[in-house]
Chains A and B, each alone.
Chain A
Amino acid sequence: MKKHLGKTNAKKYSLRTLDDTTALAKELAATLRGGDVVGLVGELGTGKTNFVQALAKTLGVKQAVKSPTFTILQLYQTAKPYDFSLCHVDAYRLRGAEDLSAVGLADYIGDPNTVVIIEWADTIKKALPKTTRWLTFSFTATKRTVTLSL
């Protein structure tokens, strides 16, 4: 049984190097279960796709993870011990929650065999479960910050 503890504590991370990104990806990966939804929020160029690449690597995905802006949705196979697929979504081009079914995303959200990770997730917030975990990316001229609400 999956437990949702309902915690609302937010943790802040400073990502200066790729190692920092990988460490955060590992921390998140350790808590992921099939059916989870992760929402990524942040302006252009703040490192959302880069984070998904690091997470996919941690999960043992062999395929190269690219920006899904054009295709909107891409499914990846993870490797053991992870027993779920990773569904990488980009809501950049979606207007809102009503477009979810048009891209077939409704089939994956909440599916016990899939973890869905969504870039620009704030665009379709209404359609996402309350248990969605949010990572907010921002940056200044010198450093990149990620806020993770678990």
Chain B
Amino acid sequence: MGKSATVLAIETSCDETGVAVVTGKKSGNRYELTVREHLLHSQIATHKKTGGVVPEVAAREHAVQLPRLLVALSKKIPLAALMQEVDAIAVTAGPGLVTSLLVGVEVTKTIALAWEKPLVPVNHLEGHVYASLLKPNKGERHKQRDFVFPLLVLIVSGGHTELVLMKQHLNYRILGTTRDDAAGEAFDKTAKLLGLPYPGGPALSTLARTGDPTAITFPRPMLKSDNLEFSFSGLKTAVATYLKKQKRINRRDVAASIELAIVDALVGKTIRAVERYRPAGVVIAGGVAANRLLRSELEKALKQTAPKTKFFTPLLAYTTDNGAMIGAAGVIRYLNGTKSQPATLRVNPHLPLK
């Protein structure tokens, strides 16, 4: 007999406000997750004007949007029914921008007190990992399986680049991180050098589609070094220097060459970790997991070096920050006994994954 639980989940760590209701079933050590509702408000349009996330603006937007999303949720599931059904309330406790995190955590505490339900603090990165276990909506075809362990995780986003080894659910060992810029930051900043609008990453990838990725050989720092660390600041300098030196610039070729340099570094180190730790599965997580080239190159490299390794990717809808992924990690945490009380839960902008 399995156990099951339902959580209301709230995410406000950066520039997306997310609310979701997620149900999880546990049988043995396996989980099946269902997203009941999933509402999201992105602040990208707001931040386009300033060219990036501004903490003060982001926090104020969360304070406006979160109640709106909760009201919208109550129109889908009446509050009385929701309160009956929900076993706990999951919330992102970090890492992220402190003022943004506070909005979500304080609202969550209020709901938890009013409903007399426990809180489940979730690490934002853990949410990204578990996004890959979320099933598509009704009518969509996507085979969904539970993770296999040991599981190698590549987390790539605007603020993070980490290789993590999971021996079992909710167990993390950091194998390597970036020494300077995150992969998503490398995309955004080189895109800015090319004069692309915020957020630069996706714009750069679009431009890259019609360019020649072999036109310019940008450095792939640390790719040859025998460790699992990344470095992307040298790429930024190389691109800036190239743009200064060249008289005629083909922006498509530059974009395609930048994208391939970043993807090569990510795939190279992931494959090195696969050779070293022989995981049963590999999962990519975070905003950069939406990058098509990264997905296809990693899948290709895995087929060549370790064809039996299972490859997990999140549905595109769940690669950006969202509430459903916090619900996914939250419900699994709840089913494993993680609980916190409103009086003691604190946000931690630098919360480590452990």
Contact = CB atoms under 8 A, between A and B. Distances in A.
Given A66-B179, A74-B350, A139-B241, A93 B54 contact: yes
A45 B237 contact: yes
Interface in A72-98: 72, 74, 92-95, 98
B109 interface: no
A71 B56 contact: no
A21 B158 CA distance: 27
Given A95-B54, A99-B55, A67 B245 contact: no
Interface residues of A, number: 28
B55 A92 contact: no
B50 interface: yes
A114 interface: no
Interface in A86-121: 92-95, 98-99, 102-104
A98 B57 CA distance: 11
A147 interface: no
A69 B97 contact: no
Contacts of A66: 177-181
B350 A44 contact: no
A105 to B, nearest CB: 10
Given A67-B233, A141-B245, A94 B54 contact: yes
B98 A104 contact: yes
Contacts of B52: 92-93
Given A70-B159, A104-B98, A98 B233 contact: no
Interface in B334-352: 349-350
Contacts of B350: 71, 74
A46 B182 CA distance: 17
B181 A69 contact: yes
Contacts of A9: none
A47 interface: yes
A102 B244 contact: no
Contact of B182 (A43, A44, A67): A67
9 contacts: A44-B189, A44-B193, A45-B238, A45-B241, A46-B237, A64-B177, A70-B185, A99-B56, A139-B240
